[in-house]
Amino acid sequence: MNDCIFCKIIGGEIPAKPVYECEDFIIINDVNPIAPKHYLLLPRNHYATLAEMNGTDAEILGRALKTVSGLQKELGLENGYRLVINQGADAGQSVLHLHIHILAGTEMSFTVD
């Protein structure tokens, strides 16, 4: 956990300029965007994967979805957006700190390649 890059961002060890912060999570710009708008919602608590969350932990995900929907104007999501959680190797999860990608700013196709 101490080596977790997202924990370091959340803890201020690695400087970042969150676009949103609250008690439960922060939202930052992805360092390597794949869409004109590409944010990452990071729970402040460290969960490597969805499987690590118990039922109570997982309630934060509901709050996260509701928060994103309340930030449509602030984050420029009015034309629509896509939320993605990459879970595990097949999905290409590269950072083992649960996070939600928020993608927007262009029309998107939907394929698995």
> Where on the chain is the footprint of Zn ion (CB under 5 A)?
4, 6-7, 46, 97
**Residue 103: which region, alpha, beta or left (left: phi > 0; alpha: psi -120 to 50)?**
beta
User: Quick check: 40 and 100 in contact, CB under 8 A?
Assistant: yes
Smallest distance, Å, CB 94 to ligand 5GP?
4
Q: By CB under 6 A, what part of segment 40-69 binds ligand 5GP?
A: 40
Say whether residue 111 binds ligand 5GP (CB under 6 A). Answer: no
Q: What angle do CA 50, 36, 105 make, to 5 degrees?
A: 85
- Output 22 or 34, the one with its CB closest to ligand 5GP: 34
Asked if 46 is an active-site residue, the reply is no
Catalytic residue (one of 38, 46, 97, 99): 99
Catalytic residue numbers read 99
